[in-house]
Structure 1
Amino acid sequence: MSADFFAGYVSGAVGIVVGNPLDILKTKLQAGTQRPQNPAPVTAVIEQQLQTRSRTLPWTSWLRGAAAPILGYGALNALLLVTYNRSLSLLEIGSISSDSPPERASAWSLWTAGALGGLATFFVSAPTELVKCRAQVSSQSSLEVTKALWKRGKLRGLYLGGGVTSVRDTVGYGFYFWSYELAKRAMAGEDDSQNQQAINVLLCGGLAGVVTWASIFPLDVLKTRVQTWDLVSLGQASRMHAADASQPLLNGQPLRAGIQSAAPSRPSTFQIARSAYATEGISVFFQGLGVCSARAFIVNAVQWAVYEYLMKQLAQ
């Protein structure tokens, strides 16, 4: 096993554990579970989550949906870093034999190698993101979500929203490595101590995470909406059905009963995006960005610190 694969796997798993509580809040905000006519502020959503989980759920509920990412994102991060390092070596020196990226690579090579790494993660990223998001907005475990998706559509069912996920990862990881490496160069000093170097890694990793999510956040919102559309729609339909009990009757049936009789068909990605914009405006594509930015800084600072540390230890 190559050093960058092992270091990437461990750092990816650590990042998921650290960032999952904020990721749950981000997903709930993106999925549109709040009423668009009177959306609750982020602080209200956080307070509601804290009250609900402290009263009825164990502390491990903050890891809901993390099983799939811990297994999947560890592999994804390992595949990402291996592909990035090999692609950058190929672009810069014409060889793919190095575990570590070459020094002082051009900005274009950094972005391109990162984009290739992001594209290579599609086979792991798409099902992992799908299972994680659906587990986070429902009461099911990751295993239950996976079984339900497989039963519904076999292998194809695990790649719902795969198209927008692949575009998001390709663009996002291009900016991810580009911003991290350029930030490291800007902060590096000739006489930096080990403590200063560690601080630089934390700051650069956090900055890279924020830059990445800022560049692709609308795509991520759309991905979440696509992957959780039926769960949110069923929840809204259930609330409307419960409200029918208090509605006037016509021939013994609620006036809106006919509307609820047939399950709506799944819209296309474009239709979901257009509907979200028409209903909630352009701001819907930035809903949860504050939570995501805070999470991105923390997770990627820790993740890069673990990765760089393991790479140094394995090199010795």
Structure 2
Amino acid sequence: MSADFWAGYISGAAGILIGNPLDLIKTRLQAGTTNVPVPLESGSSPTPAPRAGTLRGHFDRTGTLVRAPILGYGALNAILFVTYNRTLSLLSPLSSSSSSDPTTALSSPDYLSIYLAGCAGGLATFVISTPTELIKCRAQVSLTSTNSFQIARDVWRHEGIRGLYYGGGITCVRDAVGYGFYFLSYEWCKRTLNSPTDTDRQAAMKVLLCGGIAGVVTWASIFPMDVVKTRYQTQVYHPVPEGEHRSLLHSEQGANPSPYKKRLSTFEVARNAYQTEGTGVFFRGLGICSIRAFVVNAVQWAVYEWMMRILQKP
């Protein structure tokens, strides 16, 4: 495997370990009153979750939810950086193939190429990001002590692979737009702040600052879309009682009976959120998300740059 693959994987895993507790809060703020009752085997009963307001409840849930995302997001970050670097090499063949030190590039890539390469990286993560986001969000808003593997198993059993990619369209657009701004803002910050006279400590601090700023810019650019995505993926999907079933489908001429309540489209989710909660709903959780984004991405970029230097040594 290439150096940027492993650097991306390790930095992504580090980001999840640091940011997962704050991500739990962000997702619950976005989802509002939405919750996902986990489909259970016949005759089984849910285990009550520890109370969210208690210290034990917070860390029990954090520990339960972090194991699967750390695997998924590590792989996602690896694909992201590999695709970004390869695409940037194609768009700007004279520039360095790695973004780890643009000050030493033979010819620094232009900002349009950086943005487009970031978009390509975001699109490439679709195969991992959609199921990872769906499972993570449903586990985070679930009212039972359900871990990520149980959520994935139940989605697969009831809906198959199509169920794991529920919300793939909006996730794909979100990632393309967001990662375009991610790499663009990071490179702009580094070119603006870097100086040939920087000491190693100064350079390291600037990497942390640039990474943090890039994270905040990215989430600010896509946050309303992420709110809609979260609500779309965490719609309730419990079976409808037989008595309600006919009334729900009464207006659908010739429709085949379905055991599940009709889910809203992304547009309907956005419209319903606006009509019931106003414009502010699309920015609920942005504060905690910005704090998380700064810390997580500062660490991710620092780990990525550090790993690239180690792995690229002759």
**The TM-score by the shorter chain falls in which range?**
0.7 to 0.9
Give TM-score, length-normalised by structure 1. Answer: 0.82
- Whether the aligned pair in 2 keeps the contact of 1:92 and 1:105 (CA below 8 Å) is yes
Whether 2:233 is the aligned partner of 1:227: answer yes
Matched residues, percent identical?
58
Q: Alpha carbons of 1:154 and 1:264: their partners in 2 closer, same or farther (altered >3 Å)? A: closer
Give TM-score, length-normalised by structure 2. Answer: 0.83
- Whether the aligned pair in 2 keeps the contact of 1:20 and 1:63 (CA below 8 Å) is no
**1:288 pairs with 282, 285, 288, which one?**
285
Whether 2:185 is the aligned partner of 1:179: answer yes
Q: Alpha carbons of 1:197 and 1:168: their partners in 2 closer, same or farther (altered >3 Å)? A: same
Structure 1: which amino acid aligns with 2:225? L
Structure 2: which amino acid aligns with 1:195? R
Q: Which runs of 5+ in 2 are unaligned?
A: 35-49, 249-259
Residue in 2 that maps onto 1:73: 73
Deviations 1:161-182 (A, max 9, x none): 1100000000000000000001
Q: Where do residues 292-311 of structure 1 align in structure 2 (5 Å cutoff)?
A: 292-311=289-308
Residue in 1 that maps onto 2:198: 192
Deviations 1:37-62 (A, max 9, x none): xxxxxxxxxxxx9963325x373422
Deviations 1:107-136 (A, max 9, x none): 101100000000000000000000000111
Residue in 1 that maps onto 2:267: 270
User: For the residues of structure 2 that align with 1:94 and 1:192, how far apart are their CA atoms?
Assistant: 25
User: For the residues of structure 2 that align with 1:258 and 1:15, how far apart are their CA atoms?
Assistant: 45
Q: Alpha carbons of 1:51 and 1:268: their partners in 2 closer, same or farther (altered >3 Å)? A: closer
Deviations 1:173-221 (A, max 9, x none): 0000000001001000110000000000000000000000000000100
Deviation at 1:313, TM superposition (A): 1.0
Q: Specify the SS of the correspondent of 2:65.
A: coil
Q: Specify the SS of the correspondent of 1:229.
A: coil
Greater percentage in helix: 1
Deviation at 1:32, TM superposition (A): 1.1
Q: Where do residues 1-316 of structure 1 align in structure 2 (5 Å cutoff)?
A: 1-33=1-33, 52-54=53-55, 57=57, 59-93=59-93, 98-99=97-98, 103=105, 104-138=108-142, 139=144, 140-230=146-236, 264-316=261-313
Residue in 2 that maps onto 1:252: none
Deviations 1:10-67 (A, max 9, x none): 0000100100000000000000128xxxxxxxxxxxxxx9963325x37342234222
Q: Specify the SS of the correspondent of 2:92.
A: helix
Q: Alpha carbons of 1:310 and 1:287: their partners in 2 closer, same or farther (altered >3 Å)? A: same
Deviation at 1:152, TM superposition (A): 1.4
Q: Specify the SS of the correspondent of 1:266.
A: coil
- Whether the aligned pair in 1 keeps the contact of 2:88 and 2:97 (CA below 8 Å) is no
User: For the residues of structure 1 that align with 2:156 and 2:285, how far apart are their CA atoms?
Assistant: 30
Deviation at 1:300, TM superposition (A): 0.1
Structure 2: which amino acid aligns with 1:159? Y
User: For the residues of structure 1 that align with 2:293 and 2:225, how far apart are their CA atoms?
Assistant: 16
Structure 2: which amino acid aligns with 1:53? T
Q: Alpha carbons of 1:62 and 1:53: their partners in 2 closer, same or farther (altered >3 Å)? A: farther
User: For the residues of structure 2 that align with 1:198 and 1:99, how far apart are their CA atoms?
Assistant: 17
Give the aligned length.
Answer: 279
User: For the residues of structure 2 that align with 1:59 and 1:309, how far apart are their CA atoms?
Assistant: 30
Q: Specify the SS of the correspondent of 1:65.
A: helix
User: For the residues of structure 1 that align with 2:3 and 2:244, how far apart are their CA atoms?
Assistant: 61
Structure 1: which amino acid aligns with 2:300? Q
User: For the residues of structure 2 that align with 1:159 and 1:149, how far apart are their CA atoms?
Assistant: 10
